[in-house]
């Protein structure tokens, strides 16, 4: 009888956890997919602060939102056709991709964008979000793109276990993305004559170099933070996964 009750409680707990994950993923998919659509199609940036070259794809905020939307779509698909087993011995491809995407891009880029944006906004909003944007950029969209990306990815970290890749592979993937973006904004500067972000206009070359190095270092630190938190929150699962892999 005791074993039966224990199994019933365990089954109820698993069912509740799965329901929480599913609700989180559905909410995130709707929110970030609509946010990407609205920003790309409905927000008309003032010509005085935005050169048409590269459109919205020049902004890390927009690219981050696409990453978040992609991650939660993949997570939702995994909920139905993949597996949410804590430490599967032979994880399906979609689960492996989900875990890698979360560790390498979704978590560190979301926190990078959110923390950097609100820090610069607190110092001088004109550096990242000039007041001229207020009439065309809804407050709710600003929070979807700069606040909710952090809230949801942290909730995801605490509600879903993921197997982190080897640190060298994870950091390499993140480095490729971030360095590519830095090259991208220099290409945009070359063809448009303006920097993507006003803060870069007020920095001299040595200051910009320090700024870029600091951004890269901060992003790599966020990757390590995600790995650290994952190892603490899911300590038992991490140990189990290591035992299964040996």
- Residue 71 sits at φ, ψ, to 5 deg, of -60, -45
pTM above 0.85, yes or no: yes
pLDDT at 100 over 90: yes
Residues 98, 55, 174, 218, Cα dihedral to 10°: -120
pLDDT band at residue 246, thresholds of 50, 70 and 90? low
1-32 tens-digit pLDDT: 545 544 545 456 667 889 999 999 999 999 99
Mean pLDDT, rounded, for 206-235: 97
Check residue 42 and give its pLDDT: 97
Report the distance separating Cα 179 and Cα 216, nearest Å.
8
DSSP structure string for 22-43: HHHHHHHHHHHHHHHHHHHHT-
Check residue 6 and give its pLDDT: 47
User: Would you kindly state where each structural domain of the chain is located, as residue ranges?
Assistant: 11-245
157-202 tens-digit pLDDT: 999 999 999 999 999 999 999 999 999 999 999 999 999 998 999 9
Check residue 2 and give its pLDDT: 47
Check residue 88 and give its pLDDT: 82
107-133 tens-digit pLDDT: 999 999 999 999 999 999 999 999 999
pLDDT at 230 over 70: yes
43-91 tens-digit pLDDT: 999 987 888 999 999 999 999 999 999 999 999 999 999 999 887 878 9
Q: Which residue has the tokens 């500067």?
A: 189
Check residue 48 and give its pLDDT: 79
pLDDT band at residue 242, thresholds of 50, 70 and 90? confident
Instruction: Assign residue 193 a region (left: φ > 0; alpha: ψ between -120 and 50; beta: otherwise).
Output: left
Check residue 56 and give its pLDDT: 96
């Amino acid at each position: 009888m005791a074993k039966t009750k224990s199994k019933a409680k365990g089954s109820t707990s698993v069912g509740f956890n799965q329901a929480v994950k599913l609700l989180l993923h559905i909410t995130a998919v709707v929110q970030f997919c609509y946010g990407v659509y609205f920003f790309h199609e409905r927000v008309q940036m003032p010509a005085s602060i935005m050169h048409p070259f590269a459109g919205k794809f020049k902004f890390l905020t927009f690219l981050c939102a696409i990453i978040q939307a992609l991650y939660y779509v993949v997570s939702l698909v995994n909920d139905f056709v993949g597996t949410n087993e804590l430490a599967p011995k032979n994880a399906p491809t979609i689960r492996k991709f989900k875990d890698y995407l979360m560790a390498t891009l979704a978590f560190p880029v979301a926190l990078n964008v959110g923390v950097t944006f609100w820090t610069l906004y607190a110092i001088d909003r004109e550096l990242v979000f000039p007041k001229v944007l207020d009439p065309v950029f809804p407050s709710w969209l600003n929070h979807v793109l700069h606040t909710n990306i952090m809230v949801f990815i942290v909730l995801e970290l605490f509600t879903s276990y993921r197997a982190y890749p080897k640190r060298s592979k994870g950091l390499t993937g993140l480095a490729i993305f971030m360095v590519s973006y830095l090259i991208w904004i220099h290409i945009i500067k070359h063809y448009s004559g303006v920097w993507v972000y006003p803060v870069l206009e007020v920095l001299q070359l040595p200051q910009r170099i320090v700024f870029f190095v600091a951004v890269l270092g901060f992003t790599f630190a966020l990757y390590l933070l995600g790995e650290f938190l994952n190892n603490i929150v899911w300590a038992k699962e991490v140990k189990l996964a290591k035992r299964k892999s040996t």
